[in-house]
Amino acid sequence: MDEDNRLKVMEWVAKEVLVHEAPLRSWLKRIVDGSEVEDIVQESYCRIAGLTDVSHIRSGRAYLFTTARMLVLERIRRARIVNIDTALELEKMDVAAEVPSPEQVAAGRLELQRIRRLVDGLPERCRKVFSMRKVEGLSQREVAATLGLSEHTVENDVAKGLKLILKAIADGDQQAEAAFIGMGKHGSA
């Protein structure tokens, strides 16, 4: 049962939280140093990982922002952050948490298509591995056998593709797509 709960949390994160990570990072950059942004994002996900039930959560966006905000406040209390106008930015962040802009709402709906485009834009061998793995449902071992690759290579490709997708999730739409286009042209196999 515990495993089922954790699976549900993970699925909820995939559907309701990941899409809001890029806007969260934009906000965090105004308040904390660059190196802290990543930490706060990861720690926010850590808090979410501790949840046993997400069915009561109305808004993944609000939950993510609120969690991050709490972590920022903790840091302020520990006097790690020296940033003027922090309080004002925090307040604006609250508003952003509840009321996404129309662009952000649209972005949420297009998220799956965006990920799909990103997968399509992976370096060729990486893309093939992904497609065989995810669309055709072959195991990594079967992919390796079919493509004549070592299992190690397939695993590396999966990791590589996933890293690129994670970067895209962090960067939000435009920059990520530009990165992928660049990657596709020069991408090493």
Partner 1 sequence: MGISRRKPPLSVWESMDRRDESGMVNDRAAEWVARIDAAPLDAAAQAELDQWLASDDRHRGAFLRASAAWHLCDQATALGGHLRDAAHAGSPAFVTRSVVEAQDAPGDVPEAGRPHALSRRGMLWGGGALAASLLAAAGLGFWKGGGEQVETALGEIRRVPFPDGSMASINTATRLKIDFAADVRMVELDRGEAWFKVAKNKNRPFIVAAGEARVRAVGTAFSVQRLDSGADVQVTEGVVEIWATPRTADRILVKAGERAFIRYDAGPQAPVRDAAGIARKLAWRDGALKFEGTTLQEAAAEFNRYNGMKIEVDPALAQERIVGRFRTDEPDAFARSASAMLDARFEMSDKRILIAKN
User: Based on CB atoms, which residue is closest to partner 1, 18 or 97?
Assistant: 18
Is residue 109 at the binding interface for partner 1, with CB under 8 A as the rule?
no
User: Based on CB atoms, which residue is closest to partner 1, 92 or 167?
Assistant: 167
Q: Are 60 and 17 in contact (CB under 8 A)?
A: yes
Is residue 159 at the binding interface for partner 1, with CB under 8 A as the rule?
yes
Residue written as token pair 């996933």: 162
User: Based on CB atoms, which residue is closest to partner 1, 7 or 87?
Assistant: 7
Q: Are 50 and 5 in contact (CB under 8 A)?
A: no
Q: 122 to each of 16, 111, 181, how far by Cα in Å? A: 24, 17, 9
Would you call 13 helix, strand, or coil by DSSP? helix
Is residue 155 at the binding interface for partner 1, with CB under 8 A as the rule?
yes
Q: What are phi and psi of 107, to 5 degrees?
A: -60, -40
| Minimum distance from residue 149 beta carbon to partner 1 (Å) | 12
- Structure tokens of 180? 């992928």
Q: Please, which of residues 10-69 interact with partner 1 by CB under 8 A?
A: 10-18, 21, 33-35, 38-39, 41-50, 55-56
- Structure tokens of 178? 């530009």
Continuous segment of H or E residues that includes residue 48: helix 34-49
**Contacts with partner 1, residue ranges (CB under 8 A):** 1-7, 9-18, 21, 33-35, 38-39, 41-50, 55-56, 80, 111-113, 115-116, 119, 130-131, 133-137, 140-141, 151, 154-156, 158-159, 162-163, 165-166, 169
